[in-house]
Amino acid sequence: MFRWLVLSFALPLPGGPVQRPYIQPAPVPDEWIAPDKAGHFVGSYLAHTTVYAALRTADVDRRPAQTGAMVTSLALGLSKELFDRHRGGPFSWKDIVWDIAGTAAAAGAVSVMDR
Per-residue pLDDT of the chain (115 residues), as tens digits, is 555 544 455 555 555 555 666 666 666 788 999 899 999 999 999 999 999 999 999 999 999 999 999 999 999 999 999 998 999 888 999 999 999 999 999 999 999 998 7
Q: Is residue 115 assigned to a domain?
A: yes
**Angle, CA of 30, 31 and 32, to the nearest 5°:** 125
- What DSSP state is assigned to residue 89? -
Structure confidence at residue 115 (pLDDT) = 79
Q: Is residue 111 assigned to a domain?
A: yes
Structure confidence at residue 29 (pLDDT) = 81
Q: Is residue 20 assigned to a domain?
A: no
How many CA atoms within 13 Å lie on the side-chain side of 94?
Answer: 12
Structure confidence at residue 93 (pLDDT) = 94
Number of domains in the chain: 1
Q: Is residue 12 assigned to a domain?
A: no
Structure confidence at residue 5 (pLDDT) = 46
Q: Is residue 81 assigned to a domain?
A: yes
Domain that holds residue 96: 41-115
Q: Is residue 67 assigned to a domain?
A: yes
Q: Is residue 79 assigned to a domain?
A: yes
Structure confidence at residue 18 (pLDDT) = 59
Of the chain, the end-to-end C-alpha distance in Å amounts to 80
Q: Is residue 26 assigned to a domain?
A: no
